[in-house]
Structure 1
Amino acid sequence: MMKRGLNSRSVSMLQAVAGCLLVVALANGQTAPQEKPQMAEEVFKNIQVLRGLTVDQFMGTMGFIAAALSMNCSECHHTGSAAEYAEDTPRKQTARKMILMVNALNKSNFGGQREVTCYSCHRSDARPKITPSLAEQYGTPPPDDPNEVEISGTPAAGAPSADQVLNKYIQALGGAQRLASVTSFAGKGTYEGFDTEGDKFPVEVYARAPNERTTIVHLRAGDNIRTCDGRNAWNTSAGTLLPIPVFSLSGGDLEGAKMDAGLSFPGQIKQLLKDWRTGFPSTTIDDKDVDVVQGSSPDNTPVKFYFDKKSGLLLRQVRYTDTALGLNPTQIDYDDYRDVSGVKMPFRLTTTWTDGRSTIVFSELRANVSIDAAKFSKPAGNTPQKP
């Protein structure tokens, strides 16, 4: 969580990216060719250092800076309009210098490998500390973060294999045969996030196996639509200051979206990733002992899954998206499993990332419904705010 809350205007440039964590797709050969994403310098003005990034990569990099310093948009940008965002401020000028400094450190000392980032020194503080804290040194250490467990040396003895954990998960959901019988679903419920200022708004979710999903959030400013057709993924910009009505996902954001699409139909979880492994140290989530299983996405990014040892159900997924400055973590928590046509499905999804947290709570989920193919087409988007 941020130390300072994000208000609706100061985070509006990041809002569209938030929605992309709810967009999912799994590529197949029956969809349109992958769309070429727009570049940041084609959309935004006054881009000087972070050139050559797609729009979603650029926004992800902004999120990394915000998380590393625990600051929000308005503390570096003028947030009155889209045009004012582009104006220089002292902090923007300092940020450019810091980016060049970090890049030079890694190039000169680590052969160009990323060993130092903004977070290395800032640690979620606007000003890096230079004096040791005795309170931290002798105080009670904070609890271990389960997201950070790693295999150090020899894997933990007696750990179940990845196949055993994943098979238990599939069985806990209802078994492979029942999972395969669900080929689509539609859900309705509420959405609440940093972009709603604590209010809840209606949400609709449509998914069709193996690789299509659309989420529609009915915000005050209009419908924020997130769509994947199996190869491409898009997000509209309702309620934001983004100067374009819709943008496509690319790179790690797109890979993460494809993986989440597969998890919408979890019978195929083993095929979603490669190089599965277990043997992580013991850890807990909400006082529940978990089995940690890690796989690698097609772009070789590690993804961790946390399964309840007792029930076998998936409690959490943690993955990372590479940005120009460092890795952005995304955490998705699954809760309130209920029976839907003989299959257990989570009715509560909480997504936490560098810019905030959002929660979808379903009031109903219906399996094997007919869904118009147009639901998974590129959305038209909303009229962007004029500068």
Structure 2
Amino acid sequence: MRMIIGASAIAVVCLVGVTWGATGSRISRHSSMASVNQPDQAKRRPALWLVASGPFALGSDQATSSGPPLLAEQAFKNIQALKGISVDDFMGTMGIMSGSLGFDCSECHDSAGTDKVDWAADTPRKVTARRMVNMVTAINRDHFTGRQVVTCWTCHRGRDRPVVTPALDVVYGTPILERDDLVPASPPGLPSPDQIINKYLQALGGAQRLAGITSFAGKGTSVGFGGFGGGGAVQIYSKAPDQRTAIIEFKDAPGRDASIRSYDGKTGWIKTPLTVLGEYQLNGSELDGARLDAQLSFPAQLKQALTNLRTLDPATIDDREVDVVQGNGPRRLFATLYFDRQTGLLLRMVRYGNSPIGRLPTQIDYSDYRDVGGIKMPFRFTFAWLDGRDAFQLNDVQLNVPIDAAKFGRPTSLESRP
């Protein structure tokens, strides 16, 4: 059965594999009658900058150490239900809660977005969230042999209180069909993954030309989302086979730090402004995602970056027919890629990481493909994750340029470099 994938009104589509930390953030929303005394959107927005860094943060120097993986209970106070996971997986878990309930930080942490917030305080909603984490864990353990079948999203679907009564308009209306995240094998009668990927590589300029790309550097501006993150100066550096850094600097805002994501082939970092934790090293699912993003910056590596490739049922994005390929990465990460059936070009990539309470989706949309030295490269893209969405426009991309290895290092060392 063919599914329809709705695209956002501002969704603009990107340079393969480019992602970074929060500069634009999701607006909190409520759909249940239980949430009637909500602050207006303008008052809520400062707290949204904190969603991507996660609640409970200490701002400890531990978060920037390069030793063993930093666990949530080492970086944050009063961790009870989510012990033993890395800081980046903890951040993603906060995003699942936020996305599933339509909340931002301030709705579980009083005064979030101000200097009066106490992240460690046990508010009523935070205590409830802790019980829900334990409940979901118990359901999956006792009824599904530990498989992650039930998550926050299973019941909440963007509401603080799940719907308990079927609406007859929905029962007798047009079904809303959603694709399965993970499909273990290709349905019969579809093109092979090799056919779809080879068409993509040919559309970009051919496998031989693509194999000759060893690095690229791009410059542009951040478009932002929801009034946040626009007007920044963007720099992108990628070096084969698996190094990548993306930097957003706000030169017209003195005192505002840059947003940076870097990956040097082994170690990854995130640095975001106006957040509680600020900068931290990646060790969990986001490290696997950073590696995949860096590898897919060089499309000729696609078949090596993902294993067990399979073709999924076709879909539609913005009324464009797309062929769909899915593949596996390390540590249960997997990714789904959507290729324009007419042009062969990649329109979307969604990668899925793991957390204790559900999968962590990250979506990158690509468009505005232009010729650069005989290779088509996307100049416009959106990067969407559980804590926000950003749009970016490149205006210059140069291939096979020398890039200092230090460009892929720890973010604090990058801001002072030309």
Which structure 2 residue ranges, 5 or more long, are not aligned? 1-25, 30-40, 55-65
Distance 2:119 2:262 in 1: 27
Which structure 1 residue ranges, 5 or more long, are not aligned? 18-33
Select the residue among 275, 280, 285 that pairs with 2:308: 275
Distance 1:369 1:173 in 2: 19
Superposed displacement of residue 194, structure 1: 4.8
Deviates more, 1:334-343 or 1:101-110: 101-110
User: What residue in structure 2 maps to residue 312 of structure 1?
Assistant: 344
SS at match of 1:241: coil
Distance 2:345 2:384 in 1: 20
**What does residue range 55-66 of structure 1 map to in structure 2 within 5 Å?**
55-66=87-98
SS at match of 2:121: coil
Question: Does residue 230 in structure 1 map to residue 261 in structure 2?
Answer: no
Question: Does residue 162 in structure 1 map to residue 199 in structure 2?
Answer: no
Distance 1:314 1:331 in 2: 13
Superposed displacement of residue 301, structure 1: 3.0
User: What residue in structure 2 maps to residue 9 of structure 1?
Assistant: 46
SS at match of 1:282: strand
* AA at the equivalent of 1:249: L
User: What residue in structure 1 maps to residue 400 of structure 2?
Assistant: 368
Question: Does residue 213 in structure 1 map to residue 237 in structure 2?
Answer: no
SS at match of 2:411: coil
TM-score (norm 1): 0.86
Superposed displacement of residue 96, structure 1: 0.9
User: What residue in structure 1 maps to residue 163 of structure 2?
Assistant: 129
Question: Does residue 255 in structure 1 map to residue 288 in structure 2?
Answer: yes
Contact 2:257 2:272 in 1 (8 A): no
Distance 1:110 1:364 in 2: 51
Distance 2:116 2:281 in 1: 19
User: What residue in structure 2 maps to residue 91 of structure 1?
Assistant: 125
SS at match of 1:319: strand
SS at match of 2:258: strand
Deviations 1:180-238 (A, max 9, x none): 22211111111233586263311111111111111111144211221111111001232
Superposed displacement of residue 381, structure 1: 6.8
TM-score (norm 2): 0.80
User: What residue in structure 1 maps to residue 217 of structure 2?
Assistant: 186
* AA at the equivalent of 1:276: L
Distance 1:214 1:308 in 2: 27
Q: 1:277 to 1:186 in 2, by over 3 A?
A: same
Superposed displacement of residue 56, structure 1: 0.6
User: What residue in structure 1 maps to residue 203 of structure 2?
Assistant: 172
* AA at the equivalent of 1:270: K
User: What residue in structure 1 maps to residue 59 of structure 2?
Assistant: none
**What does residue range 80-119 of structure 1 map to in structure 2 within 5 Å?**
80-81=114-115, 84-119=118-153
Distance 1:313 1:40 in 2: 40
Contact 1:156 1:281 in 2 (8 A): no
User: What residue in structure 2 maps to residue 355 of structure 1?
Assistant: 387
Q: 1:364 to 1:266 in 2, by over 3 A?
A: same
Distance 1:167 1:113 in 2: 35
What's the RMSD between the two structures over aligned residues? Answer: 2.5
SS at match of 1:281: strand
Q: 1:74 to 1:104 in 2, by over 3 A?
A: same
Q: 1:82 to 1:310 in 2, by over 3 A?
A: farther
Distance 2:184 2:166 in 1: 28
